[in-house]
């Protein structure tokens, strides 16, 4: 286990010692905007953006210092203060910077500051402008805490914190009931996973007596039985399933699109939903001690990837396509993690953060130009009206579909390569099917939105968004295009960087030769895009008529295989019935009955007891005498 070799860097060099400032800056921004956001007016957004951007610059400086030392000692742990101390169990507020968290903080602050910048334009004129940026900054703080925490409890604080911010931001326009409901659904659904995760943490405390990463990694191999490791790993994974919207807890993410688009880009595509992947990567030692848990992770990822891919193909709402696509891509990451290709999962996370944030922001720009229209059936031909949004979006879509040499190609190709060498051919075949699916839904999205004839008045009159929104698009598009260079092979930059923390990608059995693999996945992507071009943009096929003919299938996909309906029939409706029964029957009859009964009994007792009090002095005197006589008789017998 290479993790053991890591020892904290001895002398805290200048830049590393200000690590705490990275989460502190967004927290300060949140506090200022929460308290004085109204008074700051237009400044609120600039302030929030500037703070996150400075956190990004600081991250670069800190990470540069981290990688300056040799690979074996790239770990910096900073003890801020003692947080909890109960008996032998203690939790410190400690920050941990290793290469894994370094990559994460760069993604969070880097993508985060671009999205903040974009939000200045997107949220312009919103009555609760300052509040929005306060929440966004608070989110960045919690996300940084999540990835920088040196123990699982700190990670859990960040975990719940980002969940809270997600709730607040999905329901940001809470005056619409469906937004408030979507926020509630997201919160409750992820809570299911979080509860399991908390139980997992408790088991870890029982087993190790600590939640400190260094201590757990140091002794995990020896002290854990296989069964215990499996239990803990699966409980932690349940948390990841909830947070990263994997089957069967994926239902909240498509609805979460009710939030403002920058929120969807930052929280529900680039960062928060990847926290589950981060958790699996961080705790991979436990998952590996179990073995079975890794298979569960891989298969959950695979199933989610295929399932969400089909759903994405059936959506008409541009943001819901992207939401299901995110679920599907997260499935890829878990698939990679489940095959022990941790560094590839991380690389996919980074690449995905670029192109998915880009596409969400692009979709937001399109919605802005279309007067908040999200239905792709009413779009079309937008590339002429909105060239910057269109071209950057297409770059993102091509990257996601896996077109060479954009970032998605390298990520997806490496995952498929590993799948090919696992000795489970069906995993490779299904993974390639997923790649084809992603090309199909991306092609459909792009051709429906940007090509063909404009299908509504808004589409004809759409206007390009302001530079404050398009500049982040361009930057992200460049990122999405070239991020592939970060890890062109399993021996690439990111893989080498995180190898001391996550280990090397295992060499598997030799499968199909690599050039053939590349050819197959490229063919899948091109075929997918070509088919959608023929159907939706070539003009040779009347896709609206086709859609009517295929309506039953289209309906099933649009409703996400009716999973929501099953849940509501199997869980929500019975749950509500139980709640109603306990509120109106059990509570009123049984609980209130017991309480009222006790009261009534005491009153009856009191009513008979008060007869003793006659109010007649002579009765009292008689009782007095009787008592005295009793005492005398008693005393007489004692003698």
Q: Which is nearer to other proteins, 577 or 623 (CB)?
A: 623
The number of beta carbons lying within 10 Å of the beta carbon of residue 567 is 17
Burial of 458: CB neighbours in 10 Å, binned 0-12, 13-18, 19+: middle
CB of 596 to other proteins, least distance (A): 24
DSSP reduced 3-state for 225: coil
Q: Minimum CB separation from other proteins for residue 611, in Å?
A: 6
Instruction: Give the binding range for other proteins (CB under 8 A) out of 76-84, 285-293, 509-517, 612-620.
Output: 612-620
CB of 614 to other proteins, least distance (A): 6
Instruction: State the Cα–Cα distance between residues 591 and 583, nearest whole angstrom.
Output: 10
The residue length of the chain stands at: 639
Q: Which of 39, 603, 610, 638 touches other proteins (CB under 8 A)?
A: 610
Stretch that binds other proteins, among 3-11, 228-236, 543-551, 619-627 (CB under 8 A): 619-627
- Give the number of other Cβ atoms within 10 Å of residue 563's Cβ: 15
Applying CB under 8 A, the span of 7-15, 46-54, 224-232, 603-611 interacting with other proteins comes to 603-611
609 sits near other proteins (criterion: CB under 8 A): yes
Q: Are 536 and 448 in contact (CB under 8 A)?
A: yes
* Conformation bin of residue 410: beta by default, left when phi > 0, alpha when psi is -120 to 50: alpha
Binding to other proteins by residue 618, rule CB under 8 A? yes
Q: Tell me the closest approach of the beta carbon of residue 603 to other proteins, in angstroms.
A: 13
- Residue 601: CB minimum distance to other proteins, A: 18
Is there a contact between 262 and 115 (Cβ–Cβ < 8 Å)? yes
For other proteins, the binding residue among 10, 125, 615, 636 (CB under 8 A) is: 615
| 3-class SS shares of the chain: helix, strand, coil, % to 5 | 80, 5, 20
Omega within 30 of 0 (cis) for the link into 355: no
Q: Which of 86, 510, 545, 612 binds other proteins (CB under 8 A)?
A: 612
**Residue 622 touches other proteins, criterion: CB under 8 A:** yes
Question: Which one, 39 or 603, has the nearer CB to other proteins?
Answer: 603
Backbone angles phi, psi at 92, to 5 degrees: -105, 155
Is residue 623 within the footprint of other proteins (CB under 8 A)?
A: no
| CA atoms of 407 and 477, how far apart (whole Å) | 10
Question: Of the ranges 3-11, 113-121, 220-228, 620-628, which one interacts with other proteins (CB under 8 A)?
Answer: 620-628
CB 214 within 8 A of CB 77: yes
Burial pattern 281-298, b for ≥16 Cβ within 10 A else e, equals bbbbbbbbbbeebbebbb
Closer to other proteins by CB, 39 or 611: give it: 611
Structure token digits, residue 78: 């900073």
Q: How far apart are CA 136 and CA 41, in angstroms?
A: 16
Give the nearest distance from C-beta 639 to other proteins in angstroms: 17
Q: Quote the least distance from Cβ 625 to other proteins, whole Å.
A: 6
Residue 78 per-residue DSSP state: E
Contact window for other proteins (CB under 8 A) among 330-338, 480-488, 512-520, 610-618: 610-618
Q: Which is nearer to other proteins, 546 or 605 (CB)?
A: 605
Rule CB under 8 A: is residue 88 a binding residue for other proteins?
no
Which chain residues interact with other proteins by CB under 8 A?
A: 609-618, 621-622, 625
């Amino acid at each position: 286990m290479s993790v053991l070799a890591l020892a904290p860097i001895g002398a805290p060099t200048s830049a590393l010692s200000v690590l705490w400032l990275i989460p502190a800056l967004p927290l300060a921004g949140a506090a200022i905007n929460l308290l004085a956001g109204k008074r700051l007016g237009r400044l609120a957004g600039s302030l929030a953006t500037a703070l996150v951007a400075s956190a990004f610059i600081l991250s670069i400086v800190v990470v540069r210092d981290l990688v300056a030392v040799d690979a074996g000692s790239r770990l910096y742990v900073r003890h801020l203060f003692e947080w909890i101390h109960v008996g032998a169990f203690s939790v410190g507020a400690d920050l941990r910077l290793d290469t894994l968290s370094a990559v994460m903080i760069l993604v969070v602050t880097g993508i985060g500051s671009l999205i903040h910048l974009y939000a200045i334009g997107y949220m312009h004129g919103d009555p609760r402008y300052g509040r929005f940026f306060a929440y966004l900054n608070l989110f960045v703080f919690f996300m940084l805490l999540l990835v920088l925490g040196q123990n699982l409890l700190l990670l859990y604080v960040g975990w719940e914190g980002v969940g809270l911010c997600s709730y607040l931001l999905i329901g940001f326009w809470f005056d619409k009931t469906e937004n408030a409901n979507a926020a509630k659904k997201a919160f409750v659904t992820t809570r299911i996973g979080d509860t399991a995760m908390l139980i997992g943490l408790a088991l870890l405390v029982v087993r190790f007596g600590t939640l400190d990463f260094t201590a757990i990694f140091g002794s995990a191999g020896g002290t854990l039985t296989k069964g215990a490791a499996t239990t803990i790993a699966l409980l932690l994974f349940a948390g990841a399933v909830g947070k990263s919207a994997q089957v069967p807890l994926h239902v909240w993410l498509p609805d979460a699109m009710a939030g403002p688009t920058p929120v969807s880009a930052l929280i529900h595509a680039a960062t928060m939903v990847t926290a589950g992947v981060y958790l699996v990567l961080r705790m991979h030692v436990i998952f590996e001690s179990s073995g079975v848990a890794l298979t569960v992770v891989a298969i959950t990822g695979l199933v989610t990837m295929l399932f969400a891919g089909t759903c994405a193909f059936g959506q008409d709402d541009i943001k819901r396509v992207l939401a299901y696509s995110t679920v599907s891509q997260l499935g890829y990451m878990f698939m990679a993690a489940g095959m022990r290709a941790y560094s590839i999962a991380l690389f996919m996370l980074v690449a995905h953060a670029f192109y998915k944030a880009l596409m969400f922001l692009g979709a937001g720009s399109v919605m802005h130009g279309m007067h908040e229209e999200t239905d792709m059936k009413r779009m079309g031909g937008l590339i002429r009206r909105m060239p910057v949004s269109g071209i950057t979006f297409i770059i993102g879509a091509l990257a996601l579909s896996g077109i060479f040499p954009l970032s998605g190609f390298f990520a997806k190709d490496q995952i498929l390569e590993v799948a090919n060498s696992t000795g489970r051919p069906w995993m490779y075949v299904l993974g390639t099917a997923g790649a084809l699916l992603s090309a199909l839904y991306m092609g459909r999205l792009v051709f429906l939105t940007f090509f063909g004839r404009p299908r509504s008045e808004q589409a004809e009159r759409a206007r390009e968004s302001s530079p404050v929104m398009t500049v982040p698009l361009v930057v992200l598009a460049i990122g999405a295009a070239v991020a592939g260079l970060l890890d062109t092979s399993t021996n690439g930059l990111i893989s080498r960087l995180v190898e001391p923390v996550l280990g090397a990608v295992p060499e598997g059995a030799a499968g199909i030769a690599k050039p053939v693999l590349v050819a197959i996945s490229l063919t899948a992507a091109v075929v997918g895009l070509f088919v959608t071009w023929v159907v939706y943009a070539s003009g040779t096929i009347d896709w609206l008529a086709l859609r009517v003919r295929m309506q039953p299938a289209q309906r099933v996909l649009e409703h996400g295989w009716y999973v929501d309906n099953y849940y509501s029939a199997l869980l929500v409706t019975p749950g509500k019935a139980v709640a109603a029964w306990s509120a109106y029957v059990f509570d009123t009859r049984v609980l209130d009955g017991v309480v009222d009964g006790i009261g009534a009994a005491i009153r009856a007792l009191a009513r008979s007891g008060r007869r003793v009090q006659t109010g007649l002095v002579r009765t009292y005197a008689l009782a007095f005498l009787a008592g005295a006589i009793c005492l005398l008789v008693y005393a007489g017998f004692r003698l």
